[in-house]
Structures are given as structure tokens and as C-alpha cells.
Structure 1
């Protein structure tokens, strides 16, 4: 009789232990599910804040009075957005870049006669970046910089070095001398580091109204610099929004274009990217 009771008690204890294990497993799964849902909800909220930052930057661009045919320079409101915003307990950093301030590689990749002036600027930029000589085959217009990985001599590290300085725009896009950083100005024919730095400092107060005014500048005149492919305007911009809240981070990059007829702003592409510290070309 006692033996039967002992067996029954052991059976009950085994059943209770199994039940506790099952309940514990369910609680752990439920807790992980809640954590995952909370993380997904937080990411969704951060992305919505990123889109809000984009909308704010679009308004600032529209209020800057930029026209597709007018000068674009760093003294305008779009280029002076301030250090950051506080929204719903999150920190937003919004930056707008003129993409015409980069070297347009589609001028080299497009099929047809090679643009020798742009090719010279490409070669000088490669040398300034301490990269080995790279020749770009004419493969036709390219839409994404990541596609350059398919070209010979361009690996991930090389593409990462190139990314802040190059862009893929329509072939007719010109390099904006009012927004191009110093290193890109140094890619122009015969422009050394000292004059390029002086031009960058000078244009903050007196941006150039035309390419002719740039060529007539005492720092430039006499160099025989070609004005081919240069301009003072732009209709392509990139808005980058970095959102930080409670240790979570999201970075949104939106490429926009001003319609040359209506002047309206259109978002051409949005990408949520890995968060990296802001590092702007100098």
C-alpha cells in the first residue's frame, strides 16, 4: 500500500515538473515575443521619425527658393539646417547635400565618345584618394553605386573610399563649383590644394553666379582650366536623416530631384541604411 502511494506521489511530482517546464517555456517564448514586438514597434517609430525629418527638410528646400536654372550654393537655407532636432524624446540630425557637388560617373560610363575632360578629373580624383589607377568601361548609364562592384578593380573597400565623392546622375549633370568640396575642386585641371582651399573659404561669402565668374577669379584665371562639365546650379539633392532614441538608431537617405519645368520636388529614392557617424567630405 505504501509502495503504491509512493509511486503515485512520484507520478504527481513528475507531472507537476513537466507542467512547470511547459509553463516556463511558454513564458520565455512569450517574453521573447514581447521583446521582439517592442523592438519592431520601436524601429517602426524611428522610421516614421526619419520620414518626418525628410518632410521637414523638403520644406526647407522648397523655402530656399531654389530653381533648376538658378545658382545653388552653401549660403542658402537648405545647407544650414542647424545641429539637430528633438522630437518625441528622439534626437534627429538632418543633412542635405547637393549631389551635383560630386563627380558624375555616368559621364564616363555612358556609351559613345569618351569625355576626356571628365576622364582627367576622374584620374586626378583617384590619385588624390591614394587609390590605384582605375579605368571605367563604357557599360551604359548605371543607377546604383553598388553596381560598380561588378567592374574590374572595384571591390567593397574601394567603393567605400569612392562613395562620398562620386554620384550617378543623368549624363548632362554638371559639377557645381559652389558646392563641390576641396578635394573635388583639386580634381580640376591644375588647381592645387592652396588655391582650392581658398576658393572654398571665399565662396562661403561670395558664391559664384556663373562659371565665367569662377574662371575669372584670380585664383583660377591663368590656369587654362576647362569649363566643360562645370556649373553653378543643381536639381539633385540627398537628404540624410539620423534618428537616435534610447540607444536605437536609424538612418534614412532620400534622393530628391527638382522638376526642371514645374520646380516641384520629387523623392526619387529612399533607403534605410546602417547607422554610421556623420562624416562629410572636406
Structure 2
């Protein structure tokens, strides 16, 4: 009898052990399932915050009194945003960049007669960046800078060096002398580092109302540079949003354009960008 009770007790203990193992496995599976479903939800929330920040930045552009012919400069509201702010439990960084402050490569890629003035600025830019001479083939419209890697002589490293300084905009886009950085001003005929730096400092207090005002400036007038391809306005901007929340991060880059006729702002392109290894937590 005692032996039978011992066998029964052992059987019960084995059943309980098996039940505990099964329950533990189910709990682990449930926890992994919850974690797996939480990650897409968190990414969705980051995207919603990023798009909300993009919409807010677009409102800032709309309120910056940008007109088709009026000057666009760094004293306007779009260029004076606070670098970061906190919304609930998320930290959000917003940057707005005038894309006309970059060298537009479209005139060099377009088929037909080569734009010699832009070609000269392109050659000087390569020299300033310590990159070898590079001739761009006339392949017609290119929509995305990453596509330049398909062209001869442009590898990933070269493109990384070029990316902050060049852009692909419609052919009529002009280099905005009110927002172009010192390096881009140095691509103009005869412009040296000293005068370019002086122009950058000077325009903070008094932006140029016209290209003629720029070329008549005492720092510029003696250089004999061409006003071809230069402007003081823009209708193309890039909104870059970085969102950090609960250890997760997202970066959104949105290219927006102001319609010259209606004045309406539209998003031309949206991209979710990776962070560099040094930026990751």
C-alpha cells in the first residue's frame, strides 16, 4: 500500500513539474510576443511624432513670409528654430535647410549645351573638397543623389563628401547667395576664403535684396564674377526631424516645395534616414 502511495505521489509530482514547465514556456512565449508587438507600435509612434514635427516645420515656413520674388535669408523664422524641444516623453530636433544654398547639379546632367558657369563652380567645389576632377555625364534628369553612384567615378566615399554641398533641383533653381555657406561662395569665380567669410558675416545684418546688390558689393564687384545661376530667393527646403523616445530613435528628411503660382507648400519627397554609428546610443 505504501509503495502504491509513493508511486502515486511521484506521478503527481511529475505531472506538476510538467505543468510548471509548460506554463513557464507559455509565459516566455507571451512575453516575447508582447515585446515583439511593442516594437512596431513604438516605431509607429515615432513616425507619428516625426510627421507631426514635419507639419509644424511646414507651418513655420508658411509663416516666414516667403514670396516668389522676395529674398530668402537666415534672419527669417524658418532659419531661427530652437535646435530641440521635448514633447511629452520624446525629444525632438527640427532643422530647416534652404536647398538653394547648395550647388544644383541638374544643369550639368541635362542633355544639350553644357552650362559652362556651373561647370566651373563644380570644378572648384571638387578642388575645395580635395576630390579628383570628375566629369558628370549628360544623362538627363536624376531624382535622387544616391543615383549618382551609378555614374562613373562616383563611389560611396565620394558621394559622402559631396552630399552636404550639392542638390538635384529643377534646372531653373539658383544658388541663393543669402544662405549659401562660405564653401559654396568660394566656388564663385575669383572668390577667396577671406571675402567669402566677410560676406557671410555681413549678410547676417543686411541680406541681399537682389543679385545685383550682391555683385555690386565692394567685396564682390572687383572680381568680375558672373551672376549666372545666382539668386536671392528659394522655394525648395529640407525639413530634417530627429525623434528620440524610450531609447528608440528615428530620423525623417522631407523635401518641400512652395508652388510659385499658388504659394502652396507640398512635400516632394520623404525619407527615413539611418543614424551613423557614432550617433547611436
Band the TM-score falls in, shorter-chain normalisation: over 0.9
Confirm or deny: 8 A CA contact 1:71 1:232 kept in the other structure: yes
What residue is the counterpart of 1:226 in the other structure? Answer: 226
CA distance in 2, matches of 1:85, 1:277: 23
Is 1:56–2:56 an aligned residue pair?
yes
Task: Give the 5 Å matches for 1:140-159.
Answer: 140-159=140-159
RMSD value, Cα: 2.2
Confirm or deny: 8 A CA contact 1:110 1:138 kept in the other structure: yes
Distance 1:226 1:38, change over 3 A: same
CA distance in 1, matches of 2:11, 2:127: 80
Q: Deviations over 1:58-92 (max 9, x none)?
A: 11111111012221111111111123222112111
What residue is the counterpart of 2:202 in the other structure? Answer: 202
What residue is the counterpart of 1:187 in the other structure? Answer: 187
Q: Which structure 2 segments of 5+ residues have no match?
A: none
CA distance in 2, matches of 1:166, 1:277: 24
Q: Structure 1 length as normaliser, TM-score?
A: 0.92
What residue is the counterpart of 1:240 in the other structure? Answer: 240
What residue is the counterpart of 1:40 in the other structure? Answer: 40
Confirm or deny: 8 A CA contact 1:117 1:228 kept in the other structure: yes
CA distance in 2, matches of 1:13, 1:277: 52
Task: Give the 5 Å matches for 1:9-20.
Answer: 15-20=15-20
What residue is the counterpart of 2:171 in the other structure? Answer: 171
Give the drift of 1:210: 0.9
Distance 1:6 1:156, change over 3 A: farther
Distance 1:61 1:3, change over 3 A: same
CA distance in 1, matches of 2:13, 2:227: 89
The alignment partner of 2:233 has SS state of: coil
After alignment, is 220-229 or 25-34 more displaced?
A: 25-34
The alignment partner of 1:148 has SS state of: helix
After alignment, is 242-251 or 66-75 more displaced?
A: 242-251
Distance 1:277 1:16, change over 3 A: closer
CA distance in 2, matches of 1:115, 1:185: 18
Confirm or deny: 8 A CA contact 1:255 1:268 kept in the other structure: yes
The alignment partner of 1:204 has SS state of: helix
CA distance in 2, matches of 1:200, 1:277: 32
Give the drift of 1:246: 2.5
What residue is the counterpart of 1:272 in the other structure? Answer: 272
Q: Structure 2 length as normaliser, TM-score?
A: 0.92
Confirm or deny: 8 A CA contact 1:242 1:275 kept in the other structure: no
What residue is the counterpart of 1:25 in the other structure? Answer: 25
Give the drift of 1:137: 0.7
CA distance in 1, matches of 2:17, 2:106: 69
Confirm or deny: 8 A CA contact 1:182 1:200 kept in the other structure: yes
